[in-house]
Amino acid sequence: MMMGKVFLVGAGPGDPELITVKGLRCIQKADVILYDRLVNKALLEYAKPDVELINCGKLPNYHMLQQETINQLLVRYAKRGRIVTRLKGGDPFVFGRGGEEAEACQKAGVAFEVIPGITAGIAAPAYAGIPVTHRDYSSSFTIITGHRKEGAEDNIKWEAIAKGIDTIAIYMGVKNLPYIRGKLLEHGKSPDIPVALIHWGTLGKQRTVIGKLKTIVETAEREEITNPSMIVIGDVVHLHNKLNWFEAAKEKELLASGTVKVV
């Protein structure tokens, strides 16, 4: 039997039209698709009628499939000669555990290919009118995770980030926002630096809340912001009010349809 192949595909940040052409082709030719919770289900409509779909969705504190099981399934199906597409939100190598899955394939002698995707740390701010770099505001940009592997020590270099980076994008950090704020303030970040919380970025239900670092925890609680949300910290956030093209267009559509009434 011929060996199959595993494609580690980035599905993009939510808007199904943001998947790459190559990523879409991997969905169309797959015999098996293992997909995550945040993958837009509209993308699965492009799959073959007889495709086998496996939901690997991860909710906070609840994993439908443990990572080790996912690794085993990728290898098992490929060794049966199947074309396997591992469909992951954003980019597979940006907080997507794609590196672990690639290692599992390599160790088992299974061919694999990585199809990059648009990551939320860039896409969500763009849809909120916030360029992560700008000649007048930001010449450096970093992305960090807002939650750690259970039991792991905090190895984030907070001082370097607070003092040396202009724009910070934090993934899945709402739950740990008090800790994040404390670390940044402790290491010298200005309490008045603007912060954007972008909920469900790139989707029609996207919502952006703006505040300052010193009060962002209270702002998030008052506005009931939860994950999935991107946290963007830096002077580029000032541009949101001028460049907020996506949410402004949605509001115009609602006004035109009469769904939202001005009082």
Q: Residue 11 in contact with residue 88, Cβ under 8 Å?
A: yes
**Residue 101 token pair:** 């899955």
Torsion of CA 199, 138, 17, 229, to 10 degrees: -20
For residue 125, whether the previous peptide bond is cis, meaning omega lies within 30 degrees of 0, is no
Distance CA 79, CA 83 (A): 10
Residue with tokens 């995770």: 145
Which of these is catalytic: 15, 31, 36, 166? 36
50 flagged as catalytic: no
Which of these is catalytic: 5, 22, 79, 172? 172
Reference 95, options 146, 29, 133; nearest CA is 146
172 flagged as catalytic: yes
Phi, psi torsion values for 57, nearest 5 degrees:
-50, 135
Which of these is catalytic: 58, 183, 212, 214? 58
The amino acid at 16: P
* Whole-Å CA distances, 72 to 35, 77, 107: 15, 9, 11
58 flagged as catalytic: yes
The angle subtended at Cα 124 by Cα 123 and Cα 130, nearest 5°, is 95
Q: Give the active site residues.
A: 36, 58, 172
